[in-house]
Structure formats: structure tokens, C-alpha cells
Amino acid sequence: MGEQSNTFFAVPQQRHDMLVKPDRDETARQEFVRGFKAFIQSGIVPGIHASYHNEVKPAFERQTGRSPRDRHEIRDLMIKHPLFQTYASLQRVSQELLWDVVLDSVERELPALMAQAGAGHGGTPLGSLTLDPSLDLPKYAVGVDIHCMPGGYGQDAGQGDVTAGALYDRGVYLYALGMMGPLNDDIGGSAAKFVRDRYPDFRPRRILDLGCTVGHSTLPFVDAFPQAEVHAVDIGAALLRYAHARAESLGKTVHFWQQDASRTHFPDGHFDLITSSILFHETSAKALPAIIRECYRLLAPGGMAVHGDLPPFWAMDEFNQFMLDCETYYNNEPYWGAMREVDQVALSVQAGFAAQNVEFCMAPSAYRAAAGHHRDFQAGEFAPGDAWQVLVTRK
Ligand SMILES: C[S@@+](CC[C@H](N)C(=O)[O-])C[C@H]1O[C@@H](n2cnc3c(N)ncnc32)[C@H](O)[C@@H]1O
């Protein structure tokens, strides 16, 4: 985390009717985890950089006459280093602790949250929720508790369960140290702003958000394109019940669907704008090309897809690749490293997009722009909190 990131450190999470209200003890434990995670970044990570560059790498070069070849070779060296071992184990512990402390609040408040989701917000709902109990949940997405969230994305006890959504909403805020804004929506907000700024005459009639989870990144598209009908899909029923209730509570009209993003039920050419935020790094080598192909099928001529995620590995040096890849090893993110090596441009072209209509761009943070921060970013630049990488494909 850079110095600027601290600007957002103290931003409290914005309240809405579905957000858990931690009691005093739970608040203390959650704040501890947030501080613990921030300490790992500011107190330990710089030491790992220094150990590698001042100690481990020069020793390797003296021994072999060359630099470490790639992130795998760096990992083989660093995994023996006591400071790195400390970092890796603290990262894992902090993540498990994070879910533990959020789960306390969710379990205590679950009956009230379920009642709230079931009751709606009075009057006619703004949007809708369509669940499909027959959906075959993709194994790659539910076979592992991604980023250690207990029960994972597919967890659903039925009968109005919202546990997965409640856990995710609070947990992601703590994980991101507030860097994604008070509504955890900076990726979607920045992508929506990017589309508006770059294509001022583009007026999408229908928008689809893929892998919406609880709708963090969906809602900014409602605000950015008020004339459009906004739809969002995910595979998790308990996520979607929560997402629907959260959107209603925030006064936003979204149609949520339980569907697989790689084979939706929507007709060909149904959408002008398709978006996804941090979906790609959680999809398998088989699912990712299928999702990009589905985007091509679903887009109307003249439409575009904008997918926000962290940058591919080609955009950074081997040491930063190695550090980012720690999520693969210590945070149950099995596709995190592999996805960053996939040639997303080639996949898009194979899916039918013309090569000249496929590009990686940087979407500067909408929150930072609102706070007056402006600078140019290079495609692929790793600038967490300052700008987000987007893959843009136009049909
Ligand atoms: C990291 S979360 C996305 C976060 C969300 N887009 C946001 O910005 O807050 C990844 C989501 O993708 C969903 N997902 C993974 N594979 C999917 C698929 N094939 N179809 C629909 N959703 C999928 C998961 O269930 C999970 O909710």
C-alpha cells in the first residue's frame, strides 16, 4: 500500500439496512483485524522487499552468475527466509481471523437480517430477484472457500438465508482496508466513470454485471446510466438475496439473477454494456474463455464489455509478481496467479472481438478523482486504490 492509500484508511463503511451492526466487542475485534492487516502491509512487507533486493537476490547472483528467472524461482528462495515465513503465516492468520470476527456479528444478527431481506422495504420493490434452485453451481467456484470465506460463494441454507452476503459485505470492507470506498464500490464506480468519460455519447439501454456477489460494483452503473435497465448475475443464492435487499435499501433498481455467467439465459445481443469486477481472477482456465465468449454473444452490435481486475503479470516485475501470487498460496485463491498469465486479448479475439477493439486500459479511481487526485496511468500499472485495470472489448 502506498502512502496515498492511507487517505481512505479511516473511511467508515456506509450503513444500509442489511449491513451487520457489530456490537462493542465485535467492533473492537474487527478494528483489530483491520489494523493487523494494515500493519502487515506497512510494517512487514517493506522488510521483505529489502531482504530480497539487498540480501537474497545478490546472494543468488553471486552463486549462479544470473538473476532469478521468474516468480517461481524467487518463491523457491524466499520461502526459506524467516521474515517471509512470518509474513505468509500472519497473512493467513489475519484472513482467518477476519472471517471469524465478522461471522460473530452475522450469526448474532442473522434472524433480523433474513427478516429484513424477506420483508422488503415497503411498497413495490424497485428491482427483482430471480433464483434458480436447479442451477448446477460450477465446481471451480464452490469447490474451495475462495479467500477463506467460510462456506464459500455457494453456501446457502435456503429459506431466505443471507449469511454469505452478510459475511462478504463486511469482510471485504475490512480486507480492502476501506480502500474501495464506504460502499466497497470503487472498482465498479471507476469502471462506470471510465466508460462515461471515454465514450460520452454511449447510451446503453441494458447493462449486465457478471459475478456481482452483493452488488458492490453493480450499483454505480445504476447511477452512471440512469436511463438503462441494470441486470446482475451470480451463482450464489444467499449472495443474491442479500444483494437484492441491499440494493432496495439503498434505493437502486437492479434485476438480480442466479445464473452462470458462462451460459446465461439472456438472448443474443441483449445488452449494450457488460461489466465484471474482480470476477476474472476467480474463474478457472476453462470458465474464463467461456465467459468472454458469452459476452460476445450477449452484446448488441456497437456494445462493449468492461472487465475490471488486478493487472496481468506482464505488467510488473518478477518480484511484485511473486508477492501478488501469495494470494494463490495463502488465501485460497487458486486461479489468482494462473489467470494473470492468461492472454486475455487473445481469448477475446478468439471469442469474436476484432483485435483493434480489444485493449487494456486504466480506470482511475472515481473516489480519488472526486477528491481532486488526477494523474495518467500506464496500462498494466499496479496502482491499487489509485486506478483499476480494465479489459475493454467492443463489438
Ligand atoms: C470476487 S467476487 C466479485 C465481486 C463483485 N463483482 C464486486 O465487485 O464486488 C467473484 C464472484 O463471481 C461469482 N462467480 C464466479 N464464477 C461465476 C460464474 N460462472 N457465473 C456467475 N458468477 C460467478 C462468485 O460467486 C463471486 O460472487
Strand arrangement, sheet containing 387-394: 128-130, 255-258, 229-234, 206-210, 271-277, 299-309, 387-394, 358-364
388 backbone dihedrals φ, ψ, rounded to 5°: -120, 145
Whether residue 289 has its Cβ less than 6 Å from ligand 1: no
Q: Report the Cα 353 to chain-centroid distance in Å.
A: 24
Ligand 1 probe mutation, 146, 153, 231, 260, most atoms within 8 A of CB: 153
Q: Which residues face 35 on adjacent strands? A: none
In angstroms and rounded to an integer, the radius of gyration of the C-alpha atoms of the chain is: 21
**pLDDT for the residue numbered 315:** 79
| Residue ranges of the chain with per-residue pLDDT less than 50 | 1-9
Give the relative orientation of helices 24-39 and 163-175 as an angle to the nearest 10 degrees: 50
**pLDDT for the residue numbered 338:** 87
Q: Counting atoms of ligand 1 from 1, which one is nearest the CA of 239?
A: 27
Q: What is the pTM of this model?
A: 0.95
Q: Using CA atoms, how far apart are residues 395 and 391, in angstroms rounded to an integer?
A: 13
Whether residue 211 has its Cβ less than 6 Å from ligand 1: yes
CB–CB of 129/256 below 8 Å? Answer: yes
Q: Counting atoms of ligand 1 from 1, which one is nearest the CA of 217?
A: 8
CA 210–ligand 1 middle distance (angstroms):
7
pLDDT tens digits along 178-237: 788 999 999 999 999 999 999 999 999 999 999 999 999 999 999 999 999 999 999 999
**pLDDT for the residue numbered 344:** 94
Give the domains, in start order, of the chain with CATH numbers: 1-395 (3.40.50.150)
What residue type is 180 in one-letter code? Answer: M
CA 146–ligand 1 middle distance (angstroms):
11
**pLDDT for the residue numbered 121:** 72
Q: Which residues face 306 on adjacent strands? A: 275, 392
